[in-house]
Structures are given as C-alpha cells and as structure tokens.
Amino acid sequence: MSAAVREILGVERLELEPKPFPHLVLDGFFDPGLYQQLRAEFPQITKMKRPKGWGQSLYWGDAEYDAHLAESPAWKKVHDMVHSQEWIEFIIEQFGDYWRSEGCTVDLAKAVYVPYCEDRTDKELLELRRPAHPPHELWSRLDFYQSYSGYYRPVHLDHRRRLISMLVYFQDKDEVGMEGGELILHPPSFDLAMLERLHLYHAPKPFSKLRDRLAQTIAVKPKHNRMAVFPCGKHSWHSVPAVRSEIAPRQHIQITISSSYDAWN
C-alpha cells in the first residue's frame, strides 16, 4: 500500500468473504478524522438527476462536481487517490487472484491507470460507444449519490467492463428513519445463471421483488463510514429494495475501476 492510500484509508488490507459471492463489508473504511470532514462536506446535489429512479447523482466532468472539488480539499484528496496508479495497484493486490480465477480478460501484469472520464451517456450503456484505450489501461470513477423515497434497483449485474464496485455510506439507515435502501447480495442460482447466459443483466421487476423477499440473501445496511465492495464478475448479482421513507436522503459514493472492454469471460 502506498503512503497516499494509507493516509486516507482506515484499513491496510481487504479480506474477502466468499459467500454468497466474494465481497467485503467493512466499517471504518476512511480514516475517522477524514471521514468526519468528508461527511460535513458531502455535496448537496442540486442539478443532476439519475436517468432512472428517485435520486440525484454527481459525476466527474459535471460542472457542479468540479466546483465541489475546488471547494473541498478533503474530497479532492480522495478523488486524486481514486484516480491514481497507486489505487489501481492497491485494488489489484486485493482482488487480482479472484479476478484471474473468475476469468478476467485483462492482463493484470500490464495494468496501468489512465485518466479517462466516462460520460453520462456511456455510463448507462453496456458497451462504450468509442473505446479509447486498450483493455489493460484501467480507469476509475468516484460518483456521489442521493436517493429518496421510491428509489429502487432490481437484481442486476454491473457492466461487464467493470472490475470492482465499491460503495461507502455517509449516513446511518436507522438515524434517518429509512425503510428499504439496503444493498442485497444474491447467492448463485439456476435462475440467475440463466439470465447471465441470455445476456439479461437486469432482472424483470416482479421477479426481482420476489427474489428480494424469498432468496437467502445478505443485506448490507447503510451505516456511517461503512464500505461494501465486490468484484463485478458473473456471480455478483445484487439489488437495492425500494426506499420507502426517510428523514434525509440516502447518501453514498460509488467507486469503480473499469476497462474500456468486456473484462470477463
């Protein structure tokens, strides 16, 4: 771990849990003092709406995002860490063996960070419209989210160009009176395997809601400075039950690392 990464994180190493698929839930992800500053300076998103659902988002490249980094040295420090070769190397150190065992197509020996900014249109697409980098040139995202009553994510897999998806929460579910809004991790099963083989990476809503209730899942509750991370392979099905009430919005960041091409066999 580099000094720049060690200064920001409250952990030295990420040890994955194997079931229902490799993942990790960790409290105290950011250094405690830094977390308090990040929480106090979490952006109040005013303009950017998610293309689907009840929520707002702020992405690198948005004018409001760039203005916030200029006003918050703490968030600028985290942004710069995530968009760095040191971060890529730290994540490969944690997840490289799993990626290889799951058929990752990226040559990790050549993996290098590039400062590519995926725009809002491409972010929603299964494939980039105009890939600009070879597969081993990896890039990061750090996105801000606020979610309100009605926000819902069906059972799905993240885009196959993604290598990891990491969430860090900035409020406690119970403190804000929230119902729903947990991250639900779904175990491998015949029905999900069939969806993946058919290249159906988002389950139909009625099926998804039934599965949220009946499957033997793991629920990750939003909690201050809690991080959840998983490699984005073919088994990493997850969902978010509808947020039904809250005093304050569900606030979190999502950090991803991606290739410009499909990263999985």
Predicted confidence band of residue 80 (pLDDT cuts 50, 70, 90): very high
Determine how many CB atoms are found less than 10 A away from the CB of residue 94: 18
Note the pLDDT of residue 102: 86
What's residue 53's pLDDT?
53
Phi-psi sector, 103: left (phi>0), alpha (psi -120 to 50), beta: left
pLDDT of 152: 87
pLDDT of residue 155: 95
- Confidence tier at 109 by pLDDT (50, 70, 90): very high
Distance CA(73)–CA(71), nearest Å, equals: 7
Cβ atoms 215, 189 nearer than 8 A:
yes
3-state secondary structure of 186: coil
Q: Is the model's pLDDT at 222 over the cut of 90?
A: yes
Mean predicted confidence (pLDDT) in 165-182: 92
Burial class of residue 126 in the structure, from the number of CB atoms within 10 Å of its CB (0-12 exposed, 13-18 middle, 19+ buried): exposed
Domain residue ranges in the chain: 3-258
**Using 50, 70 and 90 to split pLDDT, how confident is the model at 258?**
very high
What is the rounded average pLDDT of the residues 231-260?
A: 91
Give the whole-angstrom CA distance, residue 41 versus residue 33.
Answer: 13
180-215, pLDDT tens digit by residue?
Answer: 899 999 999 999 999 999 899 999 888 888 888 888
Average pLDDT over every residue of 129-137? 96
Q: Sign (positive/negative) of CA torsion 80, 83, 84, 89?
A: positive
Whole-number average pLDDT of the chain: 91
Q: What is the pLDDT of residue 50?
A: 53
For 47-61, what is the mean pLDDT? 71
Of 249, 238, 227, 248, give the one whose Cα is nearest residue 169. 227
Indicate the burial class of 130 (C-beta count within 10 angstroms; 0-12, 13-18, 19 or more): exposed
Q: Residue 49: what pLDDT?
A: 57
* Residue, of 33 and 178, whose pLDDT is higher: 33
Q: For 116, phi and psi rounded to 5 degrees?
A: -90, 135
Assess if CATH 2.60.120 describes domain 3-258. yes
Q: Comparing C-alpha atoms, which of 173, 264, 238, 257 is closest to residue 22?
A: 238
Task: Provide the percentage of residues in the chain whose pLDDT is more than 70.
Answer: 97
